[in-house]
């Protein structure tokens, strides 16, 4: 069931159009992430959904209601920002209770709801503290509880983890996903961090220059990018200039290689760009159908759970990632080696 619908939404500031004909449908209970670099339009889309910006054209519907021109305070939306935006002169309990008081809820009901929210974010023992007495992660949890306390129909999160250190970010993003699942609330999350988007989303919208370049599950976005931008922005890629040999094969690095992506639309000899993820490469064949590139090891980096090698292939550095295992043989710098891969892992990138 579609819960949030954006139809041909465009937003311009003067002569600058930052969102261009944006169409998207979110199902009830979904966790959606808008992913992209600064300036791609993702936060502007979120602000239009929230009611902080009005579309230049197009329509926004929430739960069947046209809210395009509806004020933000009439949309029943919970919002969490990058800056915690807590009231410094209020305790944790009073911060969480703020929206409930504005709504005129009875004191007994407020107390019960605040206690429920503090238990949900696992900070019920800190209700009497002030924001300055909390860590950044704890403050953001309080901001989340405050947004959820009035029982909004939609939760919007605008880069809520950007100000936190790496370890706390991982912990809090997992908590956000747990809470979202527990409540079943439809959620839109904005981030420039691909790991965040891929790890907690039902679907990801990769935005580029005001448009959605690709919408899909995290697996689809990572394993089958549909545009050059998505392929380069999400994860690391080894890219090669190639030419089409026939409808099922390309030539690059001096060899002919199979491709599982149809090439019917291109004439023979047409230039294409192909790519391989570092983890798609291996030092030994994994299936009888695997093919190999030959090169010389330039460098080896031990990264804990992952070992990353750089291999020069036809004058081009190529990255290979493999899991660290006890007794694993590390490639030796300066030695020749082969990089094996499957044709199904070879990405042909569209122009």
- Distance between alpha carbon 253 and the CA centroid of its chain, in Å? 32
How far apart (Å, rounded) are the C-alpha atoms in residues 305 and 122? 31
- Distance between alpha carbon 101 and the CA centroid of its chain, in Å? 35
29 shares its domain with 78: yes
| Structure letter (DSSP) for residue 343 | G
Assign 51 to helix, strand or coil.
coil
Range of the domain at 273: 236-349
- Distance between alpha carbon 29 and the CA centroid of its chain, in Å? 17
Q: What is the 3-state secondary structure (H, E, C) of 92-149?
A: HHHHHHHHHHHCCCCHHHHHHHHHHHHHHCCCHHHCCCCHHHCCHHHHHHHHHHHHHC
Higher pLDDT pick, 194 / 257: 194
Identify the band that residue 21 occupies on the pLDDT scale cut at 50, 70 and 90: very high
Identify the band that residue 243 occupies on the pLDDT scale cut at 50, 70 and 90: confident
Q: What pLDDT shows up at residue 273? A: 85
Return the residue matching tokens 């020069």: 312
221 shares its domain with 250: no
> CB of 10 within 8 A of CB of 22?
yes
Give the Cα-Cα-Cα angle 283, 236, 192 (nearest 5 degrees).
Answer: 155
309 shares its domain with 200: no
220 shares its domain with 286: no
When pLDDT is averaged across residues 297-320 and rounded to a whole number, the result is 91
Mean pLDDT across the chain: 91
Higher pLDDT pick, 269 / 286: 286
124 shares its domain with 259: no
The predicted model scores a pTM of 0.88
190 shares its domain with 318: no
Judged against a pLDDT cut of 90, whether residue 4 lies above it is answered with yes
Judged against a pLDDT cut of 80, whether residue 259 lies above it is answered with no
Judged against a pLDDT cut of 80, whether residue 261 lies above it is answered with no
Residue 330: φ, ψ to 5° = -85, 135
Residue after which a domain boundary falls, among 191, 207, 232: 232
Among residues 152, 143, 153, which one has the least CA distance to residue 175?
Answer: 143
228 shares its domain with 251: no
105-126: b or e for each residue (b if 16 or more CB lie within 10 Å)? beeeebeebbeebbebbebeeb
How far apart (Å, rounded) are the C-alpha atoms in residues 309 and 343? 21
The answer for residues whose C-beta is within 8 angstroms of residue 112's C-beta and 6 or more apart is none
Return the residue matching tokens 């619908």: 5
Domain harbouring 204, CATH code: 3.40.50.300
How far apart (Å, rounded) are the C-alpha atoms in residues 47 and 53? 6
How far apart (Å, rounded) are the C-alpha atoms in residues 124 and 115? 7
Q: Render pLDDT for 50-90 as a digit per residue (tens, 0 to 9).
A: 999 999 999 999 999 999 999 999 999 999 998 888 999 99
> Other C-beta atoms within 10 Å of 269: how many?
9
Q: Render pLDDT for 140-180 as a digit per residue (tens, 0 to 9).
A: 999 999 999 999 999 999 999 988 888 889 999 999 999 99
Residue 54: φ, ψ to 5° = -105, 130
The domain total for the chain is: 2
Domain harbouring 304, CATH code: 2.40.50.100
Quick one: 10 exposed, middle or buried, by C-beta within 10 A (0-12, 13-18, 19+)?
middle
Q: What pLDDT shows up at residue 291? A: 86
Q: What pLDDT shows up at residue 181? A: 95
Distances (CA, A) of 328 to 227, 230, 304: 36, 33, 13
The answer for residues whose C-beta is within 8 angstroms of residue 105's C-beta and 6 or more apart is 113
Residue after which a domain boundary falls, among 211, 232, 253: 232
93 shares its domain with 198: yes
326 shares its domain with 187: no
288 shares its domain with 168: no
154 shares its domain with 243: no
In 277-315, beta strands by DSSP E: 291-302, 306-313
Judged against a pLDDT cut of 80, whether residue 287 lies above it is answered with yes
194-204: b or e for each residue (b if 16 or more CB lie within 10 Å)? bebbbebbbbb
| Structure letter (DSSP) for residue 282 | B
213 shares its domain with 79: yes
Residue after which a domain boundary falls, among 232, 247, 275: 232
């Amino acid at each position: 069931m579609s819960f949030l619908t954006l139809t041909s939404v465009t937003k311009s500031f003067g002569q600058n159009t930052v969102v261009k004909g944006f169409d998207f449908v979110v199902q009830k209970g979904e966790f959606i992430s808008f992913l992209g670099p600064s300036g791609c339009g993702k936060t502007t889309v979120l602000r239009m959904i929230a009611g902080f910006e009005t579309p230049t054209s197009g329509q926004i519907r929430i739960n069947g209601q046209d809210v395009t021109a509806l004020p933000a305070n009439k949309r029943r939306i919970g919002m969490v920002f990058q800056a915690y935006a807590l009231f410094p002169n209020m305790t944790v309990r009073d911060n969480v209770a703020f929206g409930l008081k504005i709504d005129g809820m009875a004191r007994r009901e407020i107390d019960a709801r605040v206690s429920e929210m503090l238990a949900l974010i696992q900070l019920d023992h800190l209700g009497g503290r002030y924001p300055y007495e909390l860590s950044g992660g704890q403050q953001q949890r309080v901001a989340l509880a405050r947004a959820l306390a009035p029982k909004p129909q939609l939760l919007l999160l605008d880069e809520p983890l950007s100000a936190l250190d790496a370890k706390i970010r991982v912990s809090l993003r997992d908590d956000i996903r747990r809470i979202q699942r527990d409540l079943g609330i439809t959620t839109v999350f904005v981030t420039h961090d691909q790991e965040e988007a891929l790890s907690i989303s039902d679907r990801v919208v990769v935005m580029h220059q005001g448009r959605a370049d690709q919408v899909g599950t995290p697996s689809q976005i990572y394993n089958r990018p549909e545009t050059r931008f998505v392929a380069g922005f999400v994860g690391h890629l080894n890219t090669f200039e190639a030419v089409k040999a026939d409808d099922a094969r390309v030539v690059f690095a001096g060899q002919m290689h199979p491709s599982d992506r149809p090439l019917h639309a291109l004439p023979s000899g047409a230039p294409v760009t192909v790519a391989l993820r570092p983890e798609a490469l291996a030092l030994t064949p994994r299936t009888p159908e695997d093919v190999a590139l030959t090169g010389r090891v330039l460098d080896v980096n031990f990264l804990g759970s992952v070992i990353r090698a750089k291999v020069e292939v036809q004058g081009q550095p190529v990255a290979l990632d493999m899991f660290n295992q006890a007794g694993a043989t590390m490639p030796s710098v300066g030695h020749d080696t082969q990089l094996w891969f499957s044709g199904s892992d070879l990405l042909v990138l569209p122009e």
